[in-house]
Amino acid sequence: MALVAVSVEFAPRAASAHPDDYIDETFVFQTVDRGDTELEGWVEVQQARTGDDPRAVYTLAAERGFTAHMMADLAAQIVHDADGAAFGRFRAEGRLRFAEEGDWPVDLALSAEYELETTRISGEDAAEHVVTPRLVLSRDLVPRFNTTLNLDLPVRIAPDARVSFAYRVGVRYPAQAIVRVGAEFRHEVRNRVAEVFPQVWFQPRENLAIKLGIGIGVTDAAERFTARLAVELEI
C-alpha cells in the first residue's frame, strides 16, 4: 500500500509534544485546538494476500476543534479497482481529552466513532455499520519517548449485531526533532488481523512533516505488506 497525504490547517496549532496521530491511525491523546480546522487528503494502493490486483483508495477528511479538549473529524473514501470507482467508506469520530498533556500520570482521552464500510471496500456480502467506543492512553515512559495505547470495542450494528475487541500500540521518539522514528502494532482480535508498522518522520520545517512507513502483516487475514508516504503541511 502506498499513501500520499496532505493536511492543511487554517489556524496555528498550540505547541504540543505529540500532536499528530500515527501513520496507521493510532489516535493520540492530543486534540485539535478550539476553533481550528484541518483538512486532509490521501491516496493509497493496497495489495491483499489473495493475489488480487492492487486497488487505489482516495480519502478526504476534515477535523475541527470545538473546545480546548474536544474535537470531531469526518472522513470519506472512494475505492478504485478493476471494477471501476465506487464509494467505499465513511467515518465520523469525536474525541474528548482530560487535563493537559503531562498533568496526569497517564494522559487519558475518550473517542467514539461511527463507520460505514461498503461491500467494495470490505469484500463482505453487505455493507457494515460499526460503532466503536475507544479509550486512548498516552505516556512518555522516558523523556520524549511516547507510548500510546488505543483500546477499541467495535460494535457492529448491521447487517448483524456482534461485538469484538481491538487494540493499537504506537511508540515514537523523540517528541519534536527533524527526524523521528516509531512503530505501531494493530490487532483486531475477532478478525485475526495483526500488523506491525515501523515508520520514520522527517520534519525539515516546523509546518512540514513527511512520514514514511512499511506495514507488515503477521497473520493471514492482514494485508501482506503496506508501504505509505504521508505529507502534512500547516499553513
Quote the pLDDT of residue 18.
Answer: 53
Residue range 175-187: mean pLDDT, rounded:
92
Is residue 215 classed exposed, middle or buried when 0-12, 13-18 and 19+ CB atoms within 10 A define those classes? buried
CA separation for the pair 196, 192 (Å, rounded): 13
Q: How confident is the model at residue 7 (pLDDT cuts 50, 70, 90)?
A: very low
Residues 6 or more apart whose CB falls under 8 angstroms from that of 7 comprise 38, 39, 40, 231, 232, 233, 234
**Second-level CATH architecture of 3-233:** Beta Barrel (2.40)
The per-residue pLDDT of the chain, averaged, comes to 85
Quote the pLDDT of residue 234.
Answer: 65
DSSP string computed for 105-128: SSEEEEEEEEEEE-HHHH-SSS-E
Lowest mean pLDDT of 29-38, 47-56, 119-128, 197-206, name the range: 47-56
11: pLDDT strictly greater than 70: no
169 and 185 Cβ atoms separated by less than 8 Å: yes
Residue entry with cell 522527517: 202
DSSP 224: S
Q: How confident is the model at residue 2 (pLDDT cuts 50, 70, 90)?
A: very low
Q: How confident is the model at residue 147 (pLDDT cuts 50, 70, 90)?
A: very high
DSSP 220: T
The tens digit of pLDDT for each residue in 45-70 reads 787 766 677 888 888 888 899 999 99
Quote the pLDDT of residue 6.
Answer: 41
4: pLDDT strictly greater than 70: no
CA separation for the pair 81, 121 (Å, rounded): 10
